[in-house]
Amino acid sequence: MPYKSDFPPVEISSEPYPPRLLSALWEHFSECPERIALINSKEPNTDFVTFGELYVFSLATAAFLQNRGFLFGDVACLVMQNCWEYVPIFAGIGLQGGATSGANPYFTQRELQYQFNESQAKIVFCSETCLDNVIKAAKGSQTVKTIVLVESGHSKKPLNQNENQLPFGVIRFGQ
């Protein structure tokens, strides 16, 4: 027997989610520009992001995807642990009309390759702990064209000139 809630039905929105998210971010930013939206629990004093920064990162991610030829209906795969960068990446993908395919960061190379091929992911955002497996899995995928390294806690910091070079074809998020 179905259970009926005592509460009124939730109104179903006709507006797509990404623009609603951006609108909410902008509203919070407008009220208090320094208001913190998300905090990294491992480094709460140094790794946090404001609503305004989330707004800008979301638009920047959408622009990056557009410049890479990411079109309406394309798929981006996220292979990363929980981090604040997930929010603007998810929003940016949605703003481009794309779909997000989340992959467990503990997947093996074979499992990642299967997910890339099944979802037909064109771009993969991954954390540093997953990079080696993602690179190997992407080599066996016909659709993955771009890999973006998301270094949680470093996305807002400028790189040193002597920063280690990334493997060919890998782009650093936030730079």
For a pLDDT cut of 90, what percent of the chain falls above it?
A: 57
90 within 8 A of 78, measured Cβ to Cβ: yes
- Split into its structural domains, the chain has a count of 1
- Is residue 96 assigned to a domain? yes
- Is residue 62 assigned to a domain? yes
pLDDT in tens, 2-28: 888 898 988 888 888 888 888 888 898
169 within 8 A of 147, measured Cβ to Cβ: yes
pTM assigned to the model: 0.84
- Is residue 10 assigned to a domain? no
- The domain containing residue 38 runs over which residues? 17-157+167-172
- Is residue 1 assigned to a domain? no
Give me the mean pLDDT over the 106-116 stretch. Answer: 97
Sign of CA dihedral 114, 83, 124, 140: negative
- Is residue 55 assigned to a domain? yes
- Is residue 8 assigned to a domain? no
The strand pairing partners of 100, in sequence order, are: 76
Whether 163 has a pLDDT exceeding 70, the answer reads no
Here the CATH number for the domain that contains residue 103 is 3.40.50.12780
Whether 94 has a pLDDT exceeding 90, the answer reads yes
What would the two tokens of residue 44 be?
A: 């709460």
